Structure 1
Amino acid sequence: MNYAGDRSPRQTWEALEADPDAVLVDVRTHAEWTYVGVPDLSPLGREVVRIEWSSYPEGRVNERFIEDLEAAGAGQDQAVYFLCRSGVRSVAAAEVATAAGWRRAYNVLDGFEGPHDDDRHRTVSGWKVSGLPWVQG
């Protein structure tokens, strides 16, 4: 593992509650934010930082990811939690951030929607299924 570690959605929420400097970065695409929904951090008085890891529909990796992270104000000494749909892109984001100097870059396990169930619906785990606050895009 080339980043600080993995955290469940619930552990991430608790860390965000406990640390006012911690940041949640949603690395999904604009389409996912718009049509699927986003975590709602308003109960904590904050907003999710949205930075695409890759573009839709091309799937091209965002070459400016680190610059976008810096521009969003996520400092290298802050705890930064990366979230995607199912926990794959967020691992890549945490690894790249760690390589660029972030010391506390975490992956949110199972992401926003989690894996498929037997009926190919995303109802198994993830931010939404954990009962954490979220809003439709």
Structure 2
Amino acid sequence: MIENLDPKQSWSLLQQNPAAVLIDVRTFIEHSFIGHPPNAVHIAWKEFPGMQLNSGFVDQVQKRVPDKNAPILLLCRSGVRSLDAAKALEANGYQHLINILQGFEGALDADKHRGNIDGWRFHDLPWQQS
């Protein structure tokens, strides 16, 4: 079963459970230049050019998180790719999956800008750029 938590709930879980792993499923460019939470493991679900599906995603997660009972939190830009990635992990036996609603940048506002309504950065949670 996949749980959905907002960014603040997700940060709280990461602080309370040292076994929890945060996986940033965004592209390399998003992770590096837009920013990411500290200690986020970067494993892209899709990658440029063309947003091709990373066929090695599950294997790459298994190498980083071999314990299929460990809590895994998945983060993308707005919460869509992370849910797809969580479904792939669930199909491969992972038990404690958390999709981070709103993602890192959040929903688009009326001016089609992200970060003004919700999301990890909007809630002023820790983040850094490479």
For Structure 1 versus Structure 2, the TM-score category normalised by the shorter chain is over 0.9
Q: TM-score, normalised by structure 1?
A: 0.90
Residue from 88, 91, 105 that aligns with 2:83: 91
Structure-2 separation of matches of 1:16 and 1:70: 19
Residues 1:23 and 1:74: Cα distance change in structure 2 (over 3 Å):
farther
Q: Is the 8 A contact 1:39 1:133 kept in 2?
A: yes
Structure-2 separation of matches of 1:94 and 1:57: 22
Task: Name 2:7's counterpart in structure 1.
Answer: 9
Superposed counterparts of 1:1-137, under 5 Å: 3-40=1-38, 47-122=39-114, 123-137=116-130
Greater shift, 122-131 or 68-77, is seen at 68-77
Structure-2 separation of matches of 1:74 and 1:91: 20
Partner SS, residue 68 of structure 1? helix
Q: Is the 8 A contact 1:74 1:80 kept in 2?
A: no
Partner SS, residue 74 of structure 2? strand
Cα offset, 1:57, TM superposition: 1.9
Partner SS, residue 63 of structure 1? coil
Q: Which runs of 5+ in 1 are unaligned?
A: 41-46
Identity %: 38
Counterpart amino acid of residue 115 in structure 1: A
Cα offset, 1:74, TM superposition: 4.9
Q: Is the 8 A contact 1:87 1:109 kept in 2?
A: yes
Q: Which runs of 5+ in 2 are unaligned?
A: none
| Count of residue correspondences | 129
Partner SS, residue 67 of structure 1? helix
Q: TM-score, normalised by structure 2?
A: 0.95
Partner SS, residue 6 of structure 1? strand
Counterpart amino acid of residue 91 in structure 1: L
Partner SS, residue 53 of structure 2? coil
